Amino acid sequence: MLMRQVDLKAMAVRPISISYLIQTANQFDCDIYVMSGSKESANVKNYDEVKKFKMNISPLFFYFKGSDEGAARDRIGSLFTLG
């Protein structure tokens, strides 16, 4: 299992949509979950769970588990970096 921490303060310039995050996550076979500092979590591939999840709490922790977890971690992480 791999983990990637995301600081949303850097995202104020370029926020991403929930649908784009879900579409990106669904390109991978591994399980992808996001957890906030308050220990609330959501399956990133599930629209209803992500919609209810408070994505404005920083930092967020993304967890990846499965055959392509490294590629998924890198791709999801790139959505939250400036550049």
Number of domains in the chain: 1
4-39 residues labelled b (16+ CB within 10 A) or e (exposed): bebeeeebeeeeeeeeebbebbeebebbbbbbbeee
CATH number of 10's domain: 3.30.1340.10
Band of the pLDDT at 65, cuts 50, 70, 90? very high
**Model pLDDT, residue 10:** 58
**Model pLDDT, residue 56:** 72
Q: Is the pLDDT of residue 43 over 90?
A: yes
pTM: 0.85
Domain enclosing residue 67, as ranges: 2-79
**Model pLDDT, residue 79:** 86
